[in-house]
């Protein structure tokens, strides 16, 4: 058994050891691991098929572009975007929609036209219809 004097000596030595230390750098290593399962969907979006386009010519106010297509077979498609030179000109709602139109601006240049199927989770499939020049 250690008396009060012995306890004081042990405490003093411990304090000295802590104060003096070893002078090295401190480091720590942590590992974080979790187990479980994750399911990642790998489905794709089917684009439209049988796409066709017509225009009423190149007018001073722009050109009316009319498009028809066969709807996407992807069940979660909610709309179609009609795109002219990378800019969405119209959005047609409904998975089974098969036609739409928009007014292309009078640019004096070429227009590249596409139909983009859009799903409710944000995935898209773009199909080029063709191009025309005014």
pLDDT score, position 73: 95
Angle at 87 between CA 61 and CA 94, to 5 degrees: 100
Cα separation values, 73 from 2, 7, 8, 124, 127, Å: 85, 83, 84, 13, 14
For the whole model, what pTM was predicted? 0.67
Tokens of 72: 């996407």
* Cα 75 to Cα 46: distance, rounded to the nearest angstrom: 9
Question: What is residue 2's predicted lDDT score, i.e. its pLDDT?
Answer: 52
pLDDT of residue 134: 79
**pLDDT attached to residue 60:** 79
| Block mean pLDDT (10 aa), the chain, length 134 | 49 43 54 53 83 87 92 95 95 96 85 94 93 85
Kindly give the residue spans of alpha helices, DSSP state H, lying in the chain: 4-20
**Domains annotated on the chain, with CATH:** 49-133 (2.60.40.10)
């Amino acid at each position: 058994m250690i008396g009060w004097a012995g306890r004081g000596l042990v405490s003093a030595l411990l304090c000295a050891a802590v104060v003096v230390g070893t002078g090295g750098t401190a480091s720590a290593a942590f590992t974080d691991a979790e187990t479980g399962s994750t399911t990642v969907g790998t489905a794709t979006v089917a684009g439209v098929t049988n796409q066709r386009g017509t225009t009423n010519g190149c007018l001073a106010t722009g050109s009316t572009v009319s498009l028809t297509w066969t709807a996407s077979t992807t069940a979660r498609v909610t709309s179609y975007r009609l795109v002219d030179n990378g800019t969405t000109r119209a959005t047609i709602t409904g998975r089974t929609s098969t036609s739409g139109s928009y007014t292309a601006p009078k640019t004096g240049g070429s227009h590249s036209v596409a139909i983009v199927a859009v799903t409710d989770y944000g995935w898209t499939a773009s199909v080029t219809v063709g191009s025309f020049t005014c």
